[in-house]
Structure 1
Amino acid sequence: DDPVRSPVAMFKKAQAIDPYVLMTLKSMDELDFTLTKAAGGPEEHVLTERHFEDRRQRAIEKKGDTKQHYLLEHDKLNWDGPPRPAGRTEKTELMVGLTTDENRQPEWAGNATSTVFSHLPTAEATGLRFFIQAHFEVPVDRERVNHDSDWNNWIMDHVPEQLARLADAVLEGPDPMTGARSFLKVLPLAGELVAPIYTRIADSLGKVMRNRDLIPCTDGKLHKPATALIADEKLCAVFEGTSIDGSLMDGISQTFAFVDPSLDERCMDVCRSLGCKPFGGIDLVKLLERAVKATPDKAPLFLTEPNAARFDRLAHCLLETLKKNDKVLKRLRPLAIVPDG
């Protein structure tokens, strides 16, 4: 009759075990618990880990229920710092994992699931939206990893690169555009994380993601953060989903585009943290000064194929800019941007 140690209570605890432990405990591929009829059942709770040809993919199947899919990255790390205390390991395997659907689209339920494991879960609500497993240094109560441990911080320094490789895995999936949108939702923001040991992950992402085409843009393509511009919906509409020639942007030989303004604000914040730059009214004026001198193949559509609707959209944005800074009128007057007739 013990409410804590009764068979029913123990079975409920078994049901609450995080399925992710099947991946952090390598010797296990299945958890099988049965509550007998005599103890209040019959009821069975079975979790089975499924492996795939692609080592990065796994699934945990709950008997009688659906599979939960994952994408994983692994690294074997060898400590290269000062000598470790006697009895402390100098090697660990780091695993970073994303919860996904069967098509590699990242998912996050927004629940209080553990995110940092040292083979078994720690209790800390980190603010992360993915899983980290390694041989961390933890206190006896496993409340959290030791934030001040040089060993733990060294491990965390390797997490951003694994996240970058997970981005590659997502983009290799059947729908890269949708995958990129989903991936942005699980990337960390420093302001959401509970301690510097985790914020250092968010702070390092701009460096490891800079060469990856990860940002969904209005031209229907994925762009690197440095060539994806953040503007409001009205300014984006001026360019009608077309790309911007780099010659109109400080003479850079790359093609620019606007971040899709339909992304939610958190994803926009992630884009900013990755290095996407804002594009506002003053930037539009600067672009116009170059565009009126550009060849037709480089000039924007509203100049090469002008009409009343296009000019109306452009004029609205310029008027908003003038309200904030009337000095730009002097720069606009000599520009041939008003359509004839």
Structure 2
Amino acid sequence: MFLHRLQHIFIVNKMKENVATTELSLAFPLETSGIPDKQPVFAFLPLRNYGFRFMIQGDFDVPSSREDVDRDSIWNQWLRSELPALFLQALSTFQKHRCFKSFEGLCHFLKFVPLPDEILDFFQPVARQIMQQLKALPWLPAREGPGLQLL
């Protein structure tokens, strides 16, 4: 599977002891037909599927079972809060990517937008926040009624 990786490196100030920087990455399959498969969240190793159709890699705090993220961790809550902005940064990458022409990048990107009822547990607020930020974009086309209108 060919993936595009978008990453953001954060300089951390007193968020976590002995950590100066951390990286949060999203990876999107570029060659998909139809709706992409749901992907796991990673904390270096795969944890579990939370319903996202793109991969998330972060330095999440995990319990000893390594099957989930620690929901009570302030660190994890901060990382989660950074996901919507990073996801929206991917939009410009899709629009400029050499694999796509015209609106193909936008159409492909929209396949990855998480719906609130698809995202599970700890990450559920991310879907709502992404939808709110997408709605705030003044040029995002949307079909309402018989014609094409802008939101």
TM-score calculated relative to the size of structure 1? 0.39
Label 1:74 to 1:182 Cα distance change in 2 as closer, same or farther (>3 A).
Answer: same
On the 8 A contact 2:36/2:111 being kept in 1, the answer is: no
Structure of larger gyration radius: 1
Relative to total residues, which structure has the larger helix share, 1 or 2?
Answer: 1
User: Counterpart in 2 of 1:165?
Assistant: 89
Distance 2:36 2:102 in 1: 21
Superposition pairs of residues 13-52 of structure 1, within 5 angstroms: none
1:185 to 111, 129, 141: 111
Query: Whole-Å Cα distance in 2 between the matches of residues 188 and 141 of structure 1?
Result: 26
User: Which amino acid in the other structure matches residue 22 of structure 2?
Assistant: T
Q: Structure 2: which amino acid aligns with 1:203?
A: R
Q: Does 1:133 align with 2:54?
A: no
Residue type at the aligned position of 1:89: V
Would you say the 8 A contact 2:7–2:26 is kept in 1?
yes
**Aligned sequence identity (%):** 23
Other structure's SS at 2:88 match: helix
Opposite residue 125 of structure 2, the aligned amino acid is R
Aligned mates of 1:258, 1:172 — CA distance in 2: 23
Task: Compare relative contact order (CA 8 Å, sep 6+) and give the higher one, 1 or 2.
Answer: 2
1:202 paired with 2:135, answer: no
Q: Are 2:37 and 1:110 equivalent residues in the alignment? A: yes
Aligned mates of 1:116, 1:193 — CA distance in 2: 12
If the length of structure 2 is used for normalisation, what is the TM-score? 0.81
> Which residue of 2 is the match for residue 100 of structure 1?
30
What RMSD in Å do the two structures reach over aligned CA positions?
2.6
Paired residues of 2:36 and 2:112 also in contact (CA < 8 A): no
User: Is residue 119 of structure 1 aligned with residue 69 of structure 2?
Assistant: no
Measure how far apart 1:107 and its partner are. 7.0
| 3-state SS, counterpart of residue 144 of structure 1 | coil
The answer for unaligned runs of 5 or more in structure 2 is: none
Say whether the 8 Å CA contact 1:136–1:152 is kept in structure 2. Answer: yes
